[in-house]
Amino acid sequence: MIAKLKFLVDVGVGKKVEKRLADNGYDAKCVRDINPTADDSEILHPAVKEGRMVITMDKDFGELVYNSGKLHSGVLILRLEDADGVHKVKVMKKIPSDYADKLYGRFCVFQGERLRIKN
């Protein structure tokens, strides 16, 4: 299933998560390498074009994607405001491996050690 999952990692998520995904064989691009000042809509465009799930800590994506119906290939919001890079990596080790078949094209929120997946 790893080969099918592709990610676009938002700047606020951090370099440790970017490295963890790449080191574990996931096709992951980073917003910081494309345009580190891109706004949310600008982040969605290449993600949709390339079939990538956006990983972000920006809850504004909820309004943009879930409430406004903006086209996307999946969004994972990590509600880990006070987490350090080590904790983010731990979370991102579990989510793709445990939920790979449920993530693509879905709006997901990880909060309180729980993943919610919405259609």
CATH number at residue 35: 3.40.50
pLDDT at 66: 76
pLDDT at 5: 87
DSSP string, the chain: -GGG-EEEE-GGG-HHHHHHHHHTT-EEEEHHHH-TT--HHHHHHHHHHHT-EEEES-THHIIIIIIT----S-EEEE--TT--HHHHHHHHHHHHHHHHHHHTT-EEEEETTEEEEE-
Number of domains in the chain: 1
- CB neighbour class for 98 (10 Å; exposed up to 12, middle 13-18, buried from 19): exposed
pLDDT at 2: 45
Site of tokens 């994607």: 65
Residues of the chain with confidence (pLDDT) below 70: 1-3
pTM: 0.91
pLDDT at 77: 96
pLDDT at 7: 96
Site of tokens 């980073």: 30
The boundaries of the domain holding residue 86 are 2-118
